[in-house]
Amino acid sequence: MGCVQSFRELCDRQKNTNVRLSLPAVCIVWQTAMIILFGVFIRYNEESSPRWVEYRKAKNISSDIENDFYFRYPSFQDVHVMIFVGFGFLMTFLKRYSFGAVGFNFLIAAFGLQWALLMQGWFHSLDYSDGKIKIGIENLINADFCVAGCLIAYGAVLGKVSPVQLMVLTLFGITLFAVEEYIILDLIHAKDAGGSMVIHTFGGYYGLSISWMLYRPNLDQSSRLQGSVYHSDVFAMIGTLFLWMFWPSFNSAITDHGDGQHRAAINTYLALAATVLTTVAVSSLFQKHGKLDMVHIQNSTLAGGVAVGTAAEFMLMPYGSLIVGFCCGIVSTLGYIYLTPFMEKYMKIQDTCGIHNLHAMPGVIGGIVGAITAAAASESVYGHEGLINTFDFEGEFKDMVPTRQGGHQAAGLCVAICFGVGGVTQCVGIMTLFVLFSGCILRLPIWGDAADDNCFDDEAYWEVPDDEETFPQVPQYNNHMRNKDVAESNFTMEQN
Amino acid sequence: MGCVQSFRELCDRQKNTNVRLSLPAVCIVWQTAMIILFGVFIRYNEESSPRWVEYRKAKNISSDIENDFYFRYPSFQDVHVMIFVGFGFLMTFLKRYSFGAVGFNFLIAAFGLQWALLMQGWFHSLDYSDGKIKIGIENLINADFCVAGCLIAYGAVLGKVSPVQLMVLTLFGITLFAVEEYIILDLIHAKDAGGSMVIHTFGGYYGLSISWMLYRPNLDQSSRLQGSVYHSDVFAMIGTLFLWMFWPSFNSAITDHGDGQHRAAINTYLALAATVLTTVAVSSLFQKHGKLDMVHIQNSTLAGGVAVGTAAEFMLMPYGSLIVGFCCGIVSTLGYIYLTPFMEKYMKIQDTCGIHNLHAMPGVIGGIVGAITAAAASESVYGHEGLINTFDFEGEFKDMVPTRQGGHQAAGLCVAICFGVGGVTQCVGIMTLFVLFSGCILRLPIWGDAADDNCFDDEAYWEVPDDEETFPQVPQYNNHMRNKDVAESNFTMEQN
Amino acid sequence: MGCVQSFRELCDRQKNTNVRLSLPAVCIVWQTAMIILFGVFIRYNEESSPRWVEYRKAKNISSDIENDFYFRYPSFQDVHVMIFVGFGFLMTFLKRYSFGAVGFNFLIAAFGLQWALLMQGWFHSLDYSDGKIKIGIENLINADFCVAGCLIAYGAVLGKVSPVQLMVLTLFGITLFAVEEYIILDLIHAKDAGGSMVIHTFGGYYGLSISWMLYRPNLDQSSRLQGSVYHSDVFAMIGTLFLWMFWPSFNSAITDHGDGQHRAAINTYLALAATVLTTVAVSSLFQKHGKLDMVHIQNSTLAGGVAVGTAAEFMLMPYGSLIVGFCCGIVSTLGYIYLTPFMEKYMKIQDTCGIHNLHAMPGVIGGIVGAITAAAASESVYGHEGLINTFDFEGEFKDMVPTRQGGHQAAGLCVAICFGVGGVTQCVGIMTLFVLFSGCILRLPIWGDAADDNCFDDEAYWEVPDDEETFPQVPQYNNHMRNKDVAESNFTMEQN
């Protein structure tokens, strides 16, 4: 810990937000690396290659409509909207960081999905006969999922890091994600359709531990910018609503064909509906005069979708989904009211978007709900074949029973937390080094992050238009005079 | 009428918009009730339960892709977007009521869909063998439809009611809707795929009669806020466009598999396209200097989708759809220009969003078009099997003929209007009492609605950020001075 | 050329933006014409008519899910969103032309799709047995595609033309498009799934040649309005992201069922991801202080989707897609930095949205990539059946070989450019006359376009709300005073 502390002081030199060389270099070099790796490793799978016709006949598939594309493409597009519009606009609530919120979200998602296709491909889709990764629509969905973990982490450090740091954060995040996912889903054989553990718990704690590493004691110097204006809150609602509406697609995108996708969508739909009501209730109850707080409406209403992620494909039952949503709305909103200030004051974790309340805590709840629901499964509820299909009790796991599956689910949750908080819990091994390493690297002044009094400001990395000054909101008759004024004032400003 | 009048005076006590107890209480209690009712009544149907595998084999269904989920999920998601983003953002046009528009829309839709699943389930999806409601994707779509009726009603009272009143309005609205829908679709056997009658006519007149009950004679005290600003109009266009684009999904979401969904989408697409042109024409023609009015573009362009709702699945023919859209664009825009001011002045109906022009009138037109199209149906056009499939001439209605079906359609329209204007037409029976009752209840001062000079203002129910004051739009050199100023002015304000 | 020049002078009379008669007349008359033409020509095809049941049995189709509706409807809705929200909001970046951007985009798309259904129907879907055009979901997608060509052209003249001119531009554009598309796809037998040539190259050069015809030497008089404000840039990002996310649907919407749609979506997804990184790199590298420019992020990030359009359904391979995206991000961003100013200064082409960089150039690249990929096709890669399916080597083209197909692709690209720049290249024939004619017509003062000092201003064609003046951002205590002030200032303004 001491070495980290002294390292910190070493890094607190003069900040310079110029990324003119570092950002283009990172983008060009990494994109070139992607092209080379894709050239070596990535090919179409049998459902997206022109040999599909032959494959179809060989497998006796009666129609093109049974191509996996038609099962998953609508869900994929919904997930895609969540990643780019949902996460992007959810973070536009800051008054002067909307460009950064949407733009950097766009950048790191576009990079992350390529790296995720490779990392996840090596673990899950490698064809050992020719050493190639064979991709189809399911890989694209999984890549988007993987990116979601990093975007969650971005939420914790929003406004405080440079785009170059974000690229590094994403590179490490995706790598950790793929390893963690492989351990949880393949080795431990936990099920996690909507990624409560794999995506949200991991992403949440990963972001929080990065934020802890990058603690800025004088961040209040930027406090004038760390809030919203009226229209930025409306923009953020675009993000909230697209996340909320498409969450059923998120949780059902990679579940089993047929009843699996159907049930996951229903459960998520219900959990989210319940969350809205309890969020509104708690937000009003704990506020002076009972006024609602936009921060809660924008974020906590989504907690139910996170928490139902793991159990969405199980027989959680409609009322079970409502109960999960009910609790999460309360927990998440209380988190915003009490926990976020507490964590900033006493734990040195500055969590800009409150991802602990929206992702980390509900993710843990989701993992627990998943473990309980799995342990309670029985043939009388699922049917014999249904039980096998739902939990994949096949191959080397054909002797698995629900109670043991519940244990495996719990183990998966622990792995997700460990990977996320790696740096904090000092758990030994490569993941600690990874998170610590990435945390340390991100403090180096070469990365172009902003000074404490310059955070949450698009001016640092974007050409920002001059607002209002040349706005034509004047009666017609003095237009010319006004333009002269503007020209003069522009001149004056340039003189300074 | 006299008793209503005196009741009104009774209610005109000092208004207090504090909902700190009532809103949380309503949300928590009702959500708890939902959980209990769901626990008692709601289960998965055979297509969303793990027994689907067995069901599939028993019914000899060849592939998972024939699960109803894959027929309807893309349409469901489009409808979902219409409900939350479409209706929500359409109402953001007011300069200072965007939080209320999007946020309360979100709240009542999330509550409404749960109550709708129950109410519609009891009428339509009750499995008499075990007394449970079995839900699947079609139930979710129908719940969203049901909610749409209440959101339409919200449009009439936008900015003038408290969230608690809205919850009550929704509770009664959903209940009335389910009864009305059961009468129209099941008892009368009218067809109404896109809900011209069931959703739009009912929702429109329900909202208008509520608005009439809640008439505010001194509403002009809030006139400074009852208008738009530039960016709020652009936000509203997000709502307009998502409604417009996804309306084909709305009208085709629960029509017959195959040609039914296909034809409904085509008809709606065409009707909406024609509406845009006539709306622009009338808006320009009736305005000074031919300038277009954003209110018309935001609302009247959608009228064609409403009016084609009932007949969308019939053989309306492509040119028939265009004609319907053509007329509705004109009628709806003229409604905004002449009828809305007339109704406010002479009929004491203050219709904030003009739902009479967008939903009620086009809904009635849609009912009439549906009746005519049904009456004109023939085997030569539909084919023998096509006629039976399209109009469900099966079971107890197997002897029905198109001309009589036309009569049933007209009867359905009358029922929708009666249920909607219940309170006004004094039609006897439970529905009158319901609407009156709900209307009266909504005037009680305990509900926390705003005073006449405080309507259309988010300040009443939301923590609204201070705009612009701390905006960093100043040259770099005087940043510190400015911050000092701001701090001082904040201090001054707190002193007051 | 001389005659054009003198014709220009003739047209430079006093401008009058009143469109009160011309706009309604055009809308009503053309919409009426559409109804008549639809009545004469347009019918449902066998998949959208009630005879589908009989057709299904006759063709031995096992399930309703094999109706083309279920293969293409999700993609159709995505394309629909791109046309109305994507193109519409992408153009809202101007500080005071957001109404015009979204509203006129809405108007011309709604008209264009009707005319496109007819024009494309005559060329592609005419049933010679009864002289009717039979439409289904694929026709709707193609109509949206056709409209996209005209919306691209709108981008070049954004803010400088009246809605009446836009309607004329659309009428001619759709007509030219349908002819060009018929020549390229049917006569030349080039493949162009995502329309790199047919849509983007044609639309781009069509718009640029119109813009050249309408050159305004004194446009700098409107320069105060030819820029963005902070929130208008965020609105534009809504357009960008919906275009970016749904581009895989655009390129795969009308490709072959099964692997064709699957592969096109994957290729587009990858190309777009790579474009984002190189766009960010070049934008930062060529800017002072390395700050990113929103213009590049909003536009150039989409270039990869354009350029991969033709080859998306071929075996471009995942790394091939990345390479195409990589190059296009660089080319397009450099175009914005160097080429657009150059074209305005030396070539008299004022390209408001920079469509040359986003559509024309990447479209040409896409055509070339398509030709190369087609020429390099082989049975070893595609399989025997795959090759025939992918390139439609059937019927009269059953003896085609890949290398010759490559030649045909190149020929198709030339045709697209010729049709686009018709007026400029002085190529003989009807298309020259058409573009010239439409260009000349658009300069007539009867069309109501704005004067040079009044461009990019919604005031010309829209009722624009008075911003901010009555904004309630004041402490509660002086509300009344303020309102009095406002009332007085309003009074003063009216006196003037």
* Closest Cβ opposite residue B389 in set C18, C53, C475: C53
CB contacts of C473 in chain B (<8 Å) are 466-469
* Closest Cβ opposite residue C319 in set A38, A50, A102: A38
* Cα A377 to chain centroid, rounded: 30
Are β-strands A42-44 and C132-135 bridged in parallel, bridged antiparallel, or unpaired? unpaired
Mean pLDDT for all residues in chain C: 85
Closest CA to B450 of A289, A283, A294: A289
Q: What's residue C445's pLDDT?
A: 58
Q: Do B88 and A237 touch (CB under 8 A)?
A: yes
Please indicate if any CB of chain C lies within 8 Å of the CB of B134.
no
Q: Which two tokens stand for residue C44?
A: 């449902």
Q: What's residue A435's pLDDT?
A: 53
Given a cut of 70, the residues of chain A with pLDDT beneath it are 1-15, 423-446, 467-496
| pLDDT, tens digit, 9 for 90 and up, residues C290-342 | 899 999 999 999 999 999 999 999 999 999 999 999 999 999 999 999 999 99
The residue whose two tokens read 């203050």 is B350
Among A30-34, B193-197, C41-45, C396-400, whose mean pLDDT is lowest? C396-400
The residue whose two tokens read 């988190």 is A335
* Closest Cβ opposite residue C289 in set A18, A35, A84: A18
Q: What's residue C433's pLDDT?
A: 59
CB contacts of B467 in chain A (<8 Å) are 229-230
The Cα–Cα gap between C387 and C377 comes to: 8
Q: Do A322 and B35 touch (CB under 8 A)?
A: yes
Q: Do A71 and B73 touch (CB under 8 A)?
A: no
Please indicate if any CB of chain B lies within 8 Å of the CB of C133.
no
CA distances from A110 to A148, B463, C273, C352 (A): 11, 35, 5, 27
| pLDDT, tens digit, 9 for 90 and up, residues C187-196 | 999 999 999 9
Residue pair C318/A135 in contact (Cβ under 8 Å)? The answer is yes
**DSSP code at position A292:** B
Q: Is the pLDDT of residue C480 over 60?
A: no
Closest CA to B238 of B279, B294, B293, B298: B298
Cβ-in-10-Å burial (0-12, 13-18, 19+) of C372 comes to middle
Closest CA to A389 of A306, A307, A315, A310: A315
The Cα–Cα gap between B323 and B328 comes to: 9
Please indicate if any CB of chain C lies within 8 Å of the CB of B259.
yes
Q: Do C95 and A21 touch (CB under 8 A)?
A: no
* Closest Cβ opposite residue A224 in set B84, B163, B470: B470
CA distances from A199 to A411, B199, B345, C361 (A): 15, 39, 57, 39
Chains contacting A (3 or more CB pairs within 8 Å)? B, C
User: A 80-99 residues with CB below 8 A of B?
Assistant: 95-96
Please indicate if any CB of chain C lies within 8 Å of the CB of B103.
no
Q: Do C53 and B386 touch (CB under 8 A)?
A: yes
Q: Which residues pair with A43 in a beta bridge?
A: A134
Residue pair C419/C202 in contact (Cβ under 8 Å)? The answer is yes
Q: What's residue C425's pLDDT?
A: 46
Q: What is the mean pLDDT of residues C168-188?
A: 91
Please indicate if any CB of chain C lies within 8 Å of the CB of A404.
no
3-state secondary structure of C128: coil
Please indicate if any CB of chain A lies within 8 Å of the CB of C326.
yes
* Closest Cβ opposite residue A278 in set B31, B36, B39: B31
Q: Give ipTM to 2 decimals.
A: 0.89
Please indicate if any CB of chain B lies within 8 Å of the CB of A24.
no
Q: What's residue A187's pLDDT?
A: 92
CA distances from A416 to A149, A179, A363, A392 (A): 11, 10, 10, 21
Q: Is the pLDDT of residue B429 over 60?
A: no
Residue pair A460/A19 in contact (Cβ under 8 Å)? The answer is no
Closest CA to C115 of A77, B277, B167: B277
* Closest Cβ opposite residue C77 in set B78, B319, B382: B78
The proportion of chain C whose per-residue pLDDT surpasses 70, expressed as a percent, equals 86
Residue pair A374/A405 in contact (Cβ under 8 Å)? The answer is yes
Give residues with Cβ within 8 angstroms of C469, minimum separation 6.
Answer: A473, C486, C489, C490
Q: Do A85 and C269 touch (CB under 8 A)?
A: no
- pLDDT-based confidence at C460, cuts 50/70/90? confident
Q: Do B319 and C84 touch (CB under 8 A)?
A: no
- pLDDT-based confidence at B438, cuts 50/70/90? low
Q: Which two tokens stand for residue C209?
A: 């040649």
* Closest Cβ opposite residue A140 in set C266, C282, C493: C266
- pLDDT-based confidence at B38, cuts 50/70/90? very high
Cβ neighbours around B339 below 10 Å, total: 18
| pLDDT, tens digit, 9 for 90 and up, residues B439-464 | 666 665 567 888 888 888 888 888 88
Q: What's residue C27's pLDDT?
A: 94
Helix (H) or strand (E) holding A390: helix A384-391
The Cα–Cα gap between B259 and B250 comes to: 16
Q: Do C102 and B241 touch (CB under 8 A)?
A: yes
Q: What's residue C436's pLDDT?
A: 59
Amino acid (one-letter) located at A444: L
Please indicate if any CB of chain B lies within 8 Å of the CB of C482.
no
Q: What's residue B225's pLDDT?
A: 87
Please indicate if any CB of chain A lies within 8 Å of the CB of B258.
no
Please indicate if any CB of chain A lies within 8 Å of the CB of C276.
yes
Please indicate if any CB of chain B lies within 8 Å of the CB of A494.
no
Q: Do A234 and B102 touch (CB under 8 A)?
A: yes
Q: What's residue C31's pLDDT?
A: 95
Give residues with Cβ within 8 angstroms of A65, minimum separation 6.
Answer: B63, B65, C65, C66, C70, C71, C257
Closest CA to A215 of A155, A151, A160: A160
Q: Do C278 and A31 touch (CB under 8 A)?
A: yes
Assign 3-state DSSP to chain B and report helix, strand, coil percentages, each to 5: 75, 0, 25
Q: Do B322 and C34 touch (CB under 8 A)?
A: yes
Residue pair B201/B363 in contact (Cβ under 8 Å)? The answer is yes
The Cα–Cα gap between A81 and C475 comes to: 39
Closest CA to B215 of B137, B254, B161: B161
Q: What's residue A436's pLDDT?
A: 58
Q: What's residue A408's pLDDT?
A: 92
Q: What's residue B487's pLDDT?
A: 38
- pLDDT-based confidence at C468, cuts 50/70/90? low
* Closest Cβ opposite residue A20 in set C266, C276, C284: C284
Alpha-carbon distance A375 to nearest alpha carbon in chain C (angstroms): 37
Q: Do C258 and A113 touch (CB under 8 A)?
A: no
CB contacts of A471 in chain B (<8 Å) are none
Alpha-carbon distance A27 to nearest alpha carbon in chain B (angstroms): 30
Residue pair C66/C203 in contact (Cβ under 8 Å)? The answer is no
Alpha-carbon distance C40 to nearest alpha carbon in chain A (angstroms): 35
Q: Which two tokens stand for residue C224?
A: 């105060």
Q: Do A114 and C65 touch (CB under 8 A)?
A: no
Closest CA to A116 of A189, A174, A180: A174
Are β-strands B126-127 and B132-135 bridged in parallel, bridged antiparallel, or unpaired? antiparallel
* Closest Cβ opposite residue B475 in set A294, A326, A493: A493
Q: What is the mean pLDDT of residues C245-257?
A: 94
The Cα–Cα gap between C68 and B243 comes to: 24
| pLDDT, tens digit, 9 for 90 and up, residues B141-191 | 999 999 999 999 999 999 999 998 899 889 888 988 999 999 999 999 999
A117 vs C421 pLDDT, higher one: A117
Q: What is the mean pLDDT of residues B408-415?
A: 91
Q: What's residue B435's pLDDT?
A: 53
**Three-class HEC string of C273-316:** HHHHHHHHHHHHHCCHHHCECHHHHHHHHHHHHHHCCCHHHCCC
Q: Is the pLDDT of residue C41 over 90?
A: yes
The proportion of chain B whose per-residue pLDDT surpasses 90, expressed as a percent, equals 60
Chains contacting B (3 or more CB pairs within 8 Å)? A, C
Q: Do C277 and A30 touch (CB under 8 A)?
A: yes
Q: Which two tokens stand for residue A134?
A: 């064979």
Q: Do B469 and C468 touch (CB under 8 A)?
A: no
